[in-house]
Amino acid sequence: MASPPPAVAAPTRVRRGRVVALGGALVLTVMIAATSIMLPEREAAASTRAQPGSVVTAAVLPSVTAATTPTSAATAAATTAARKMVVAPEADPPPPARSGSGRRIVFDQSDQRVWLVEADGTVDRTYLVSGSRHDNLQPGTYAVQSRQRKAVSFDYTGTMEYFVRFTTGRNAPIGFHSIPVYNNGEPEQTVEQLGTALSAGCVRQRKSDAKYLWDWAPDGTPVVVTA
């Protein structure tokens, strides 16, 4: 009677199958672990992207909206008003009360200002001047007596142009004229100083204003001086 075949081969195949299965399980376990480790990093990276409705989008949108939103009507109106306030020149003051009527020259010593007033009461021109620093011109009504294209100062230290005389002081005529110039060519004051009493008795003007008054006021034109 023949002896039975050895039963070793079958168990060996089973053990190999188990090894293969065990190896596959180990590989699968490693892959799952790696995936679980990498996923949070991917999720964290994805959370920083500007997705619609996300926190990042909400933080970015306000700045973009503010930059692209047109200026409101109220803001535009306020800006326009501010520009007008800066650009608009200050209105000239009217002639003093009780300064006469009709066509006349008005000189106010307090404001150091002259007005050239037409017959109907409209102001043709007004500007700052420099009158006397001394108390030698009384308020009242005078008239243009004479005109002299070029004149010399009473102390012979300088000259002036467009002299329009309307009265006489203690020792010299008093009138309207341009800012005097010393004999060395230097002006006795600057245009910016007009509006301040600086003369010895006359009324100093910017040269262009002096010429305008010279042409505007013939002999006999009333001159009203106010305090």
Using an 8 Å Cβ cutoff, are 116 and 105 in contact?
Answer: yes
Question: Is the same domain home to 26 and 117?
Answer: no
- Does some domain include residue 201? yes
> Which regions of the chain does DSSP assign to beta strands (E)?
104-108, 113-117, 123-128, 140-143, 146-152, 158-168, 173-178, 181-182, 203-205, 222-226
Mean local confidence (pLDDT), 203-215:
98
Task: Identify any residues that bridge with 141 across adjacent strands, giving them in sequence order.
Answer: 224
pLDDT, one tens digit per residue, over 64-83 is 344 444 457 777 777 666 66
CB atoms within 10 A of CB 89: 5
State how far the Cα of 70 lies from the Cα of 82, in Å rounded to an integer.
19
Question: Is the same domain home to 111 and 207?
Answer: yes
pLDDT value at position 84? Answer: 59
Number of domains in the chain: 2
pTM (predicted TM-score): 0.62
Q: What share of the chain is helix, strand, coil (3-state, %, to 5)?
A: 35, 25, 40
pLDDT value at position 90? Answer: 82
pLDDT, one tens digit per residue, over 157-172 is 999 999 999 999 988 9
Q: Residue 194's domain spans which residues?
A: 104-226
